[in-house]
A and B are shown apart, each in its own frame.
Chain A
Amino acid sequence: MAFAPSEEPVALKILVAGGFGVGKTTLVGAISEIRPLRTEEVLSDRGVGVDDTDGVEGKTTTTVAMDFGRITIREGLVVYLFGTPGQERFWFMWDELSYGALGAVVLADTRRLTDCFPSIDYFEQRGTPFIVAVNCFDGADRHEPDDVRIALDLDPEVPVLLCDVRRRASAKVVLVTLVEHALKMLTAAQR
C-alpha cells in the first residue's frame, strides 16, 4: 500500500509596503510575532545624493531594518510578512523582496496619499497582486474607499479597504482580503 509522500513545506511571502510612519510595523506586529531582520547593503548610485556621502571614499554600506513576521498556518505551511521600506531609495531591495511574493498590502495614510504612489506603480508593473489598506489614524478625516480608489487611479478589481492596524481583527481582515484577491487573480489566470 502506498502512502502519499509527506508534503514539501510551503512558505509564502506577503509584503507590507507604504510610506514612512504609515503603520507597517504596527500591522506586522498586530498579526504575528515580529522579529528583527536587517540587511546591510552596498549603497547603489541611487542611494547617493539622498544619503550624505560627501567625503566618503569608495563604496559604503547602509543598514536597513525590515519588519519581519511569521504566521504558522499549520506545520509545513508558513506565511512570512515583510514590511518593506517604501521610499524609492530602497528600490534596490524591492526586486528581491517581491520575487515569488504572493501579494502585497499597500498601506495608505489619507493625509499623505502620494507616499504610496511608488509602491502601487511598482506592484502594477510587476503584476504582483496587491490591495490598498487605508489606515485610519486618529484625527484624520475618514475617506470612503471609493474616493481613495479615484485619487490613486486604481483598477476596479484592486480591493481598497479601511483598517485600523493596531487591532488584530482588522489586521486579519486586511491579510484575508489580500489572499482572497490573490486567489481570485490566480483562478482568473487559469481560466
Chain B
Amino acid sequence: MTGPQWMDEEAGALVRPYALTGGRARHSGAKLDLITMVTTTGSPRDVPGIGPEQRRILELARRGASVADIASDIDLPLGVVRVLIGDLHDLGLVDVRAPGKVAPLPSERILKEVINGLRAL
C-alpha cells in the first residue's frame, strides 16, 4: 500500500486515514500522550508486514520524537498515528516513555532552566 492518493481536491484522499489502521480508532495497548517520547529500538529493515507510514515513523523516532512531532511530520491525524505507534510498540520496534513516568512533576531545577531559556530566546 502506498500513501493516500488524491483524485482531486473535492474527492479527498482515496485512502481515508483510518484505512491505514484497519479501521481501528483506538489502540488497546500503551497509552500514548501527545508528548510521550517514542524511540526506535532497532533496525526496521527486516520487519515484514509494516506499512510505509510505519517505516517513516521508525525513521523519525530514531533519535527519539514525541507523538505530536511524529503526527505533525507525517501529516496524519493523531488518532491514526497513535494506533500505528501502538502496533510498532507491540512488535517491539519502538520504546515509548510517558512524560509522567519518570517524574510526575518537573523538578525545580528544570523549571528554572526553562525560565532562563525562555528569557534568552
Contacts and interface: CB of A to CB of B under 8 A. Distances in A.
Nearest to B63: A9
Interface residues on A, range: 35 or more
B75 A36 contact: yes
Nearest to B69: A70
B99 A186 contact: no
B67 to A, nearest CB: 10
A73 to B, nearest CB: 4
A178 to B, nearest CB: 9
Contacts, number: 102
Given A36-B75, A102-B106, A186-B108, A80 B34 contact: yes
Interface of B: 17-18, 25, 33-35, 37, 64, 66, 68-69, 71-72, 75, 77-80, 97-100, 102, 105-106, 108, 110-115, 117-119, 121
A3 interface: no
A73 B72 contact: no
Name the prevailing secondary structure of the A interface residues. Answer: strand
Interface in A15-54: 31, 35-42
